[in-house]
Amino acid sequence: MVSFDIYLLGLKDPSPAGRKRFVHAMTTISGRDAEEVQSLLGRTSEALFRALDRDQARTVVDALDQAGALVEIRPSTSPPVGSEMGAVATRECPACGLVNPAESIDCSRCGLVFAKWERESVQRMQRESRLEEALSRAMVVREEWNQRAKSFLEKRPLDPGALAPFEGTLLRDEIPFLGLASDEGPILMTSRRLLSQRDGKVLVIPYELVLDVDVGGGLVSRKNRVRMVLNFHSPLTSAAGPLKKLDWRLDKESAFNREVVMDWCFARSFLCGSCGARELEHRLVGEVNHFRCMRCATDHEVDIKEAVAIPILQD
């Protein structure tokens, strides 16, 4: 009978995330530990698997291909022996731990379909990898905005009491730099978000979700007040229900900073997690915020807490 050896040529994605996917796949299908698998990277002259029969070789190649590995199949000089690694001849069910024959389609105890589980496992790894990449890009941009907030603070220090209404809401890595007063409650601008306390509750508004800022109309009903309205791409979740827009009556001193509000809202935009472009067009799918990159057509969901657009993995 014909048998096959499988050699690693390289990785489609040689980044740390790509190597992580390969190591995870290898430990799953071969039973080797992560350190041993790591040592195989770059050793193209050493076979990953030896003397596999046709079906085993096809299974292994498919799994490694989904994990982003570039492999080569060569005829083996040895007859099929199942595998020099027991985990290829048998497979342990990831759900219940039962050891099944390698050729099993599903687990004889719990019914888990192995191919489906492996596909979903790879998709989870790819999604985690894309989230890491999106966050990495976002971190670079955040540092730029942090520096801008620090520069603002150097010229106009924040009033000490401005942070009190928002204790417990501020994130460790965001920099509050401007407090505004309104009849509806205090507003705090940070390097990442606009926070507003209304009716004893704190509303969190990522700048990227603001569609329009209207501070026109001059003074309104109450003397020395200027009306400011924020319109959102999609309803903002609040204790009072979804809000499509919010308005405040700013006091006169706060109204002087309306250009700052407009500047930060209009200048902020999500980064595409795939190509890094800022050309994301908003659309609402059900009640979920989605953005589509107009450059590479990648769809994104929005992580409101992190204020980052995460690429959606297509099946």
The mean of the pLDDT values for the chain is 81
Triad 161, 164, 170: Cα angle to 5°: 125
Confidence of residue 45 (pLDDT cuts 50, 70, 90): confident
Q: What pLDDT shows up at residue 40? A: 85
Q: Are residues 216 and 187 in contact, defined by beta-carbon separation less than 8 angstroms?
A: no
pTM score over 0.75: no
Are 37 and 87 in contact, with CB atoms under 8 Å apart?
Answer: no
Q: Which fold has domain 4-112?
A: Ribosomal Protein L30; Chain: A, (3.30.1390)
User: What is the bridge-based pairing of β-strands 299-303 and 288-293?
Assistant: antiparallel
For the chain, the structural domain boundaries read 4-112, 156-268
C-alpha to C-alpha distance for 179 and 199, rounded to whole angstroms = 18
Residue 126: band (very low, low, confident or very high) from pLDDT cuts 50, 70, 90? low
- CATH 2.30.29.30 is the classification of domain 156-268: yes
Return the minimum-mean-pLDDT range out of 6-10, 181-185, 285-289. Answer: 285-289
pLDDT in tens, 57-90: 888 888 888 888 888 888 887 776 544 443 344 6
Q: Which pLDDT tens digit goes with each residue over 224-268?
A: 788 899 998 878 877 778 888 999 999 888 888 888 998 898 887
Sheet with strand 299-303: strands edge to edge: 280-285, 288-293, 299-303, 308-311
- Residue-wise pLDDT tens digits, 269-303: 777 777 777 777 877 777 777 888 888 888 888 77
Residue 230 token pair: 């924020």
